[in-house]
Amino acid sequence: MAANQEETTVTDPKTLADKLRSGQPVITGWSMLAAPIVAELFARSGYEAVTLDLQHGMHDFKSASDGFAALALGGAHRIARIPVDDNATASRLADMGAECLIAPMINSRTDAEAFVKAVKYPPVGERSWAPFRVVMLNQQTPDAYWETANEQTLALAMVETRTSVDALDDILAVPGLDGVFVGPSDLSLALSNGEKLDPNGEETARVCGEIAARAKAAGKIAGIFCIGAAKVEEAIAQGFRLMAHGTDMMMFDEAARAHLQEVDAATGSGPAASY
């Protein structure tokens, strides 16, 4: 390189927030089993992020806290879905190491504002100061964490009801809310007035696409739970950037059945037991 030629360095985003804001798609595994080593196995298998589910999964505060440590050890980003209307847990999990909190059943601007207050420090929110575990996992000083915590700790509101879709623009306008996360199963139930569960249906996909477009127009991140690899591809094309694909309970069930089928085929002992 010539002496008078400027050298430029391109730095890849390192944090989950930076990756998603830069437009980089991120696939998250979904952990329902309250065993830290399962979360770590997700990370070591190559998942860039792992979500610990405290709403419908078996995780609680302790297992999620231990799971974050296992994810840090395995090198994956740390996400948690909190129980419905449990913003206190959102604050505690942020202290324990969550890089992103997902809140279910956010149906109004008021719901979104309350969630943001729990996740963000003043002046954006009302989170209390005690991030002693998260700074350990991040290998930061408390001062360094403070400087970027509001920017780097993501708050995503789940959109999964007709009410939340109708209120979407108001929800997206909440200061400090970083984006939305779509639950297509509940959304399909809402769109059909409870007549069918159709997360991969055409109408569900259409509305999901509209949600992603509206989030992008508002300068916010859009995430979604994907049932099938084809839906991940579709979601990326629609503008989603955080895609959940791969649930530990389903993986174990499928793997166990596959192994039993191998034994059945080798031994001729008959079909594997099924439900």
Tokens 């569900």: give the residue: 204
Q: Does residue 51 have a pLDDT over 60?
A: yes
Name the band, by pLDDT with cuts 50, 70 and 90, for residue 6. very low
The confidence score (pLDDT) of residue 275 equals: 46
Instruction: Report the pLDDT value the prediction gives residue 172, as an integer from 0 to 100.
Output: 98
Q: Once rounded to an integer, what is the mean pLDDT over residues 266-275?
A: 65
**Looking at residues 211-229, what average pLDDT do you find?**
97
CA distance 34 to 15: 25
User: What average pLDDT score do residues 26-31 get?
Assistant: 98
Task: Respond yes or no: is residue 77 known to be catalytic.
Answer: no
The pTM for the full model equals: 0.92
- With vertex at residue 229, the alpha carbon angle to CA 19 and CA 54, rounded to the nearest 5 degrees, is 65
Please give the C-alpha separations between residue 203 and each of 185, 190, 217, in angstroms, as whole numbers: 12, 11, 21
Instruction: From residue 194, give the alpha-carbon distance in Å to each of 189, 203, 227.
Output: 5, 14, 19
- Model pLDDT, residue 5: 42
In this prediction, residue 12 has a pLDDT band, given cuts at 50, 70 and 90, of low
User: DSSP letter string over 110-166?
Assistant: HHHHHHHHHHS-TTT----S--HHHHHHHT--HHHHHHHHHHHSEEEEEE-SHHHHH
Q: Catalytic one among 56, 77, 245, 259?
A: 56
Confidence of residue 244 (pLDDT cuts 50, 70, 90): very high
Q: What are phi and psi of 221, to 5 degrees?
A: -85, 145
180 with 158: CB under 8 angstroms?
Answer: yes
Average pLDDT along the chain = 93
Residues in the chain: 275
Domain 16-265 has what CATH class? alpha beta
For 207, residues 6+ apart whose C-beta sits below 8 A from its C-beta are: 165, 187, 191
pLDDT at 228 over 60: yes
Domain boundaries, the chain: 16-265
Helix axes 229-238, 202-217, angle to 10 degrees: 40
Average pLDDT over residues 242-255: 95
Phi first, then psi: give them for residue 185, nearest 5 degrees: -70, -55
